[in-house]
Chain A
Amino acid sequence: MKSFINIIKSDYLQRTRGYAFLITLCASLAISYTFVPEPNASYSTIRIADYVGYYNSAWFGYVTAIMTSIFLSLIGFYLVNSSIKTDINSRVGQIIATTKINNFNYLFSKVISNFLVLLTIVLIVFIMSVLLFFLYNDGYSFDLFQFIKPYILITIPAMFIISVLAIVFEVFLGKYSVVQNIGFFIIFSILMVFSPKTETEYCLDIFGSKIVMHQLEESVRIITNTDKNTDLSIGYILGNVKKPSKFEFNGVNFPTSFILSRFIWIAIGILIIFMISPLFHRFNIKEHRSIKKSINAVNKPSNLNDINLSNLPKPQITRSIFPLLKVELLLLFRKGKKWLWIVNIVGMVLLLVLPLKIAHQMILPILWFLQVNRVSDITTKEITNNVHYFAFTSYNPIRRLLFSQIFSVIFLMLLLAFPLLIRLVLSFQFTAVISILLGGIFIVLLAAILGIYSKGEKLFEVLFFMITYANINGIIFVDYFGGFDHPKFYLIQLAVLIIILGTISFLKRKYELYK
């Protein structure tokens, strides 16, 4: 039991003490600030036809709990789906494998640790929702129970299931992070589309938010006394010109079966972990590598005495950046599974054959996002691979090395976008061409700066996912590649942003290199 608690404690501390987690918390704080729009805001998050609730405790509690349940279920998975991988990379796993802890206890401790990380974010959102209540409320008194109830019955069980799913994916698809990401996204999408109708069906809703949505819709239907569409819209709906009417929402009376179903889902989660624990590799993956080693490389003793230093051909000093670019590109192209290149080629073909608008708005952001593992470690791979001493003592590391790293990834992104660029040039859409060029540079510099500051890849990966997801859903605010119509100053704004990101990246790396 003690080792079980120790693993949870150390894992939780290790993950939350990093700079990246601090940035994640700050981002959560900022995002949760937008969950309940201020009274005169031009956007809405949860709206039932033309109605929103009076700003009372129940509205704040339920809205923020549902928003957290949905968004943190999606983003949270990507935040926590590398806990076993961390033990593999740090080689702590090999030590754990030799201890008494059994597979179930280890995997379950990881689930709890994931759960605690997500709960920390939930806590931040909860605190923000209480603060927002005191800022915006419509003269209602504070009712703590109405705040806590939806979090306990909706958000917290959902976070537990996400923690379980993250471990299940790691156990079965540990080596295939891209497959993990895509697989979870498909599951998430299916769960979101699922629309229960009966009390029993609500029990099957893992995220637990559907029952609340249904009751909100029913409330508005009763008020309006009509059969008209009272569908609930959720997410960031921008440009709401029509001021919504208000209705009194006093929370939901959850049926006992629904409350019980939350506990059953948690129990199912634990049962799943129990069932998959015999299939866990228990860090036995190193053995496979050793076998590969003996097959691949011939270990012959060196013959150091034969090197006559004075007879070695003398190399010349060169300032050329091309040899660096060549190897950076080689590293990029060799990274990841080879079959992903088939997906890339399919994506490029789609850019060529699909209608221009779809290719630009949908295919390009997805194709670029599929490179997330290649882009995210642009400024962290030296440290990850322990090559930083060589890199940091190289000749002119800022002007030559950092530049070539950034340039090579921009080249990759634009190469993938090439079929679309050609089509746009041929149809004289030069603004769109410039938008894509700037968009490619922007996303690469964003990866560079986040890597330099957070010292890891996760932050960019999650942010890139959010940006891509928002773009696919047509949120123009995060359109960085000109897929939608924009005001005329859009390109200038993007260019200024690029200059800022680039300057900060170069200055910060310069400070880091020799301090």
Chain B
Amino acid sequence: MKLEIQNVSKRYNKNKYGLKDFSITIEKGILGLLGPNGAGKSTLLKMIATVNKPTDGIISLNKNNIAKDPNYMRKQLGFLPQDFGVYPNLNAYEFLEYMAAMKGIGGENLKPRITQLLEGLNLIDSDKKPIGSYSGGMKQRVGIAQVLLNNPIIVIFDEPTVGLDPEERVRFRNLISDLANDCIVILSSHIVSDIDTIADKVAIMKNGTLITHGDQENTIDTVTGKVFETTINKEELTTFKTQQIVVSTSRKNSELIVRYIAETPVKNSTSKEANLEDAYLYLTKIN
């Protein structure tokens, strides 16, 4: 099972690129996709999901060029877009039946599969109510259910934890880990903690290009020994930010504890263990 993205570009006009000469090979497991707004994450995911076609380059799943045969991808895909909607007049069961029909699946096992998914996602009590009456978190769970309707070999989640409460997020991560045993999972998120706990590999994007791709450990290694913490006055923060890459600040009495990345620490700093968030901020700032 291999998804190969070779020299892929998405050009909107002569000088504007959503994605530029992007190459990556993704195999079974979880790939965490990180990047600031406008980095090209959604553009990439839409091309993999066959919503859009690349202007240059090839995307192939198991050696099948999906630009030439999008249905090869579509019948094996589970896709949860960032801002998806539902037909408010349908109930959860009917909506999932509709999604299944769109995915080209059916048969006698479909009904029990939908029922088990609705039970697992605790939507069974409301499965006869119109989805228009659901809360944001419930709609998100319907979205997750539709991803699992077929047996996808490639699953794309774009900001999947939006609307889920903290407990649901933890459970969702466990579900993704379970999924990743048999398929490729691509997880795009702004929330680094969603990715660092479960992703096998991490890809960081900026301005439509790939900055880095590899194991989490290797990515974190780029900032190992460069993360420090110090205490400063509130008034000094603005100047401090111009000199160092500030990861976070927290208030302590009238002072601020600042976590920052630097080649050489300022006075009275203590060295800290680097994490994925540090690496992400460092790599997106210096590139």
Contact = CB atoms under 8 A, between A and B. Distances in A.
Contact of A307 (B49, B70, B87, B116): B116
Interface stretch (B127-135, B197-205, B264-272, B275-283): B127-135
Interface in B136-180: 137-138, 141, 144, 146, 148-151, 164-165, 167-168, 171-172, 174-175, 178-179
Contact of B175 (A307, A392, A400): A307
Nearest to B85: A386
Most chain B CB atoms below 10 A, which of A319, A327, A400: A327
A299 B110 CA distance: 25
B125 interface: yes
Given A312-B116, A316-B105, A323-B97, A300 B75 contact: no
Interface string A390-405: 1111111100110000
Contact of B90 (A296, A324, A331, A393): A331
A316 B175 CA distance: 23
Interface in B25-46: 46
Contact of A299 (B104, B105, B138): B138
Contacts of A314: 109, 113, 151
Interface string A357-387: 0000000000000000000000001000111
Contacts of B148: 307, 309, 312
B120 A307 contact: yes
Contact of A302 (B90, B109, B120): B120
B74 to A, nearest CB: 5
Contact of A315 (B51, B77, B105, B175): B105
B83 interface: yes
The interface size bin for chain B is 35 or more
Contact of B104 (A296, A317, A387): A317
B71 interface: yes
B79 A304 contact: no
Contacts, number: 187
Most chain B CB atoms below 10 A, which of A305, A308, A390, A400: A390
Contact of A297 (B106, B117, B129): B129
Contacts of B71: 395-396
A397 B164 CA distance: 30
Contacts of B178: 307-309
Interface in B75-131: 75, 77, 79, 81, 83-90, 94, 97-110, 112-113, 116-117, 119-123, 125-126, 129-130
A296 to B, nearest CB: 3
B72 to A, nearest CB: 10
A314 B108 CA distance: 9
Contact of A386 (B84, B113, B174): B84
Contacts of B125: 298, 300
A324 B102 contact: yes
B106 A318 contact: yes
B113 A312 contact: yes
A385 B168 CA distance: 25
A393 B75 CA distance: 9
Contacts of B150: 315
Contacts of A387: 84-87
A192 B167 CA distance: 64
Given A304-B174, A514-B53, A297 B135 contact: yes
B182 to A, nearest CB: 8
A488 interface: no
Contacts of B117: 307, 312
B52 interface: yes
A335 interface: yes
A303 interface: yes
Contact of A390 (B88, B102, B168): B102
A327 B106 contact: no
Contacts of B83: 386
Top 3 A-B pairs, shortest CB-CB distance? A386-B85, A316-B107, A296-B133
25 contacts: A293-B134, A293-B135, A296-B129, A297-B134, A301-B167, A302-B123, A307-B116, A307-B117, A309-B178, A309-B182, A315-B109, A316-B110, A317-B105, A318-B106, A323-B97, A323-B100, A327-B98, A385-B87, A387-B85, A393-B77, A394-B102, A394-B103, A395-B104, A400-B102, A515-B52
Interface of A: 292-293, 295-310, 312-320, 323-324, 326-327, 330-331, 334-335, 381, 385-387, 389-397, 400-401, 514-515
